[in-house]
């Protein structure tokens, strides 16, 4: 067992974990943050996307111990009980939710992309190509 200390959604967390525990399992099962979805468990579908020190990563491809000393933000960090963020509200207004399984990962990847400035259509397409939406037949 290894002790890790990190900041999750602005809250300091110290836990003892097995070295092989995935970041997604840590977030979902240890911290109860079920907004981070697990789809393919191979980093292909993007449902597990979280921000690690502000950069989008696939949580299913990371061990919890790799996040030691870092800041992790999940989809739960976006509104934190308050009003929806502009991005979340835009998803709602434009019916971009459908079943919602892929939505948290896309929101987190888009949050990262938007934090870098105004993205081009190509950058948006590239970001979205890393996410599989099962509602639309992967298109």
Model confidence, pTM: 0.92
Q: Which residues pair with 75 in a beta bridge?
A: none
Indicate whether 97 pLDDT > 70.
yes
Helix 86-93 to helix 103-115 angle, to the nearest 10 degrees? Answer: 130
The mean predicted confidence, pLDDT, of the chain is 92
Indicate whether 41 pLDDT > 60.
yes
Please, are residues 70 and 6 in contact by the beta-carbon 8 Å criterion?
Answer: yes
CA angle at 117 for the pair 97 and 127, rounded to the nearest 5°:
45
């Amino acid at each position: 067992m290894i002790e890790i200390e990190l900041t999750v959604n602005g809250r300091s967390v110290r836990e003892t974990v097995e070295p092989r525990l995935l970041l997604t399992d840590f977030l979902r099962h240890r911290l109860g943050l079920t907004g981070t979805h697990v789809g393919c468990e191979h980093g292909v579908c993007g449902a597990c996307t979280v921000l690690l020190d502000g950069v989008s990563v696939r949580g299913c491809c990371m061990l919890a111990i790799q996040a030691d000393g870092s800041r992790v933000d999940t989809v739960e960090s976006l509104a934190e009980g308050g009003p929806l963020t502009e991005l979340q509200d835009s998803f709602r207004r434009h019916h971009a939710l459908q079943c919602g399984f892929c939505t948290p990962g896309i929101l987190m990847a888009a949050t990262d992309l938007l934090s870098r400035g105004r993205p081009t259509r190509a950058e948006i397409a590239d970001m979205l190509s890393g996410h599989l939406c099962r509602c639309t037949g992967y298109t």
